[in-house]
């Protein structure tokens, strides 16, 4: 059996090696390393895939979030609401810009922002909401957008973990994750569903004015060469990463299907285990399984992780600490308002999930989980 990894990027690379190698060599030969034609082509191919007017590539998913917030011209102390249960980057950028993060609980089943708690957290200083499409499926965007409209708030979707998933609104409209808010962001970190071979990210928007503003911000606030109209940053996707992403974008749906197939296998294996809750697939969002995350109900999650490690099966705890309790972002809070987050911190465990898992590996992993749970 092939060695089991959380993410097997090497096997994935070998399947597309000759095409990717040639594409990279082509970039080297043309020496158009920055803002070359590969970046432009990737940008427009991703616009087509997402059915969004503007994709603005940048250096990583954290920059993408920071730049989107910068584009909103918020004032120091303005409040931005996001979930307490997400990767730190989402809240880090809020603090970097001297805005105030307001963290709220998530829904126990989908791990995405609890829209009732979101509503309750709105104050006159609230300016934006960042719903995080955690682990591969969309937040309840119908509700989030409704709340945002009622209170005139900007919505920036953190789509680092769910590219390719789709949300179906009650009127039947279907939209790709990241294209429903005023802006959406993503990360092309290698392990992401659409990952490059280094760092990369992008911002999506259908708003022409915002797109123009963002194109300036990513380039030192320049709209005309050497004229700096505002304080910007230097955040670029390079041509080598863009050429890799062009190839991988053509495979994104196939990759997401492979992840879903692996998830189906796990789901079936664990369906009858009373102490395991398998991931909930929300009715109105497709799931692209960036992570396959179980909830372990017998209180032995850490022992399970240890047992799997002994069998050479990696398993990760995403995430072990609530953001509101992290040293950097500590806020006084009432734990009673964060019941779901606090339960999830104790229960979640993510199993290996990637495009290259075969049945032999899936069987070995699920047998090991069940062996422990049935002990």
Residue 201 Cβ, how far from ligand PLP at the closest point, in Å? 5
Cβ-based nearer residue to ligand PLP, 196 or 304: 196
Query: Minimum CB separation from ligand PLP for residue 62, in Å?
Result: 3
CB of 187 to ligand PLP, least distance (A): 3
**Interacting residue ranges for ligand PLP, rule: CB under 6 A:** 60-62, 86-87, 89-90, 132, 158, 160-161, 187, 189, 199, 201
- Torsion on CA atoms 339, 344, 346, 348, rounded to nearest 10: 170
Smallest distance, ligand PLP to C-beta of residue 317, A: 14
**Residue whose tokens read 């307001």:** 102
Q: Let me know: does 131 contact 143? Beta carbons within 8 Å.
A: no
Nearer to ligand PLP, 62 or 366 (CB): 62
Query: Shortest approach of ligand PLP to residue 194 CB, angstroms?
Result: 11
Buried b (16+ CB within 10 A) or exposed e, 293-324: bbbbeeeebeebbebbeeeebbbbbbbeebbb
> Is 360 exposed, middle or buried, given 0-12, 13-18 or 19+ CB atoms closer than 10 A?
exposed
Q: Of 161 and 256, which has the nearer Cβ to ligand PLP?
A: 161
Compute the least distance from the CB of residue 174 to ligand PLP, in Å. 23
Comparing every residue's Cβ against ligand PLP, the nearest one is: 61
Select 4 or 93, whichever has its Cβ closest to ligand PLP: 93
Q: Which residue lies nearer to ligand PLP by CB, 290 or 301?
A: 290
Minimal distance, residue 235 CB to ligand PLP, in Å: 10
Chain centre distance of CA 6: 16
* Smaller CB separation from ligand PLP, 241 or 361: 241
Q: Are strands 126-130 and 154-158 parallel, antiparallel or unpaired?
A: parallel
Nearer to ligand PLP, 52 or 67 (CB): 67
Cα–Cα separations (whole angstroms), residue 361 to 129, 165, 352, 374: 40, 25, 10, 20
Side-chain-side CA neighbours of residue 256 (13 Å): 18
Contact 134, 158 (CB under 8 A): no
Least distance in Å: CB of 352 to ligand PLP? 17
Nearer to ligand PLP, 90 or 179 (CB): 90
Closest approach of ligand PLP to the CB of residue 59, in Å: 8
Q: How far apart are CA 319 and CA 43, in angstroms?
A: 32
C-beta of 199 vs 356, nearer to ligand PLP: 199
- Residue 156 or 315 with smaller CB distance to ligand PLP: 156
> Which of 303, 329, 305, 331 is CA-nearest to residue 316?
305
Minimum distance from residue 60 beta carbon to ligand PLP (Å): 4
Q: Is 290 left (phi over 0), alpha (psi -120 to 50) or beta?
A: alpha
């Amino acid at each position: 059996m092939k060695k089991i990894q959380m993410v097997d990027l090497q096997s994935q690379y070998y399947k597309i090696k000759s095409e990717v190698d040639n594409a990279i060599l082509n970039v080297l030969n043309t020496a158009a390393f920055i803002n070359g034609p590969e970046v432009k082509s990737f940008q427009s191919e991703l616009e087509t895939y997402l059915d969004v007017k503007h994709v603005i590539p940048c250096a990583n998913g954290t920059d993408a979030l920071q730049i989107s917030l910068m584009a909103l011209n918020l004032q120091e102390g303005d409040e931005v609401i996001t979930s307490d249960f997400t990767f730190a980057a989402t809240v880090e950028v809020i603090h970097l810009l001297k805005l105030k993060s307001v963290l709220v609980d998530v829904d126990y089943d989908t791990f995405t922002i609890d829209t009732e708690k979101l509503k309750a957290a709105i104050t006159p200083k609230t300016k934006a909401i960042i719903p995080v499409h955690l682990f591969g499926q969309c937040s309840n965007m119908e509700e989030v957008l409704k709340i945002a409209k009622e209170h005139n708030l900007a919505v920036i979707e953190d789509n680092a973990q769910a590219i390719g998933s789709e949300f179906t609104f009650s009127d039947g409209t279907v939209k790709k994750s990241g294209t429903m808010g005023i802006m959406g962001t993503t990360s092309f970190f290698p392990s992401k569903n659409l990952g490059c071979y280094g760092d990369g990210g992008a911002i999506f928007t259908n708003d022409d004015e915002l797109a123009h503003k963002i194109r300036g911000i990513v380039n030192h606030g320049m709209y005309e060469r050497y004229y700096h109209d505002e304080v910007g940053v230097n955040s670029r996707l390079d041509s080598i990463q863009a050429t890799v992403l062009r190839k991988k974008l053509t495979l994104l749906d196939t990759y997401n299907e492979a992840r879903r197939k692996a998830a189906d296998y796990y789901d079936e294996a664990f369906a009858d285990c009373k102490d395991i809750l398998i991931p909930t697939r929300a009715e109105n969002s497709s799931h692209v399984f960036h992570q396959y995350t179980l909830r372990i109900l017998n209180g032995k999650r850490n022992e399970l992780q240890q047992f799997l490690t002994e069998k050479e099966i990696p398993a990760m705890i995403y995430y072990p600490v609530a953001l509101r309790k992290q040293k950097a972002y500590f806020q006084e809070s009432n734990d009673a308002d964060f019941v779901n987050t606090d339960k999830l911190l104790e229960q979640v465990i993510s199993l290996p999930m990637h495009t290259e898992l075969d049945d032999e590996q899936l069987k070995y992993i699920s047998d090991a989980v069940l062996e422990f749970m049935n002990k």
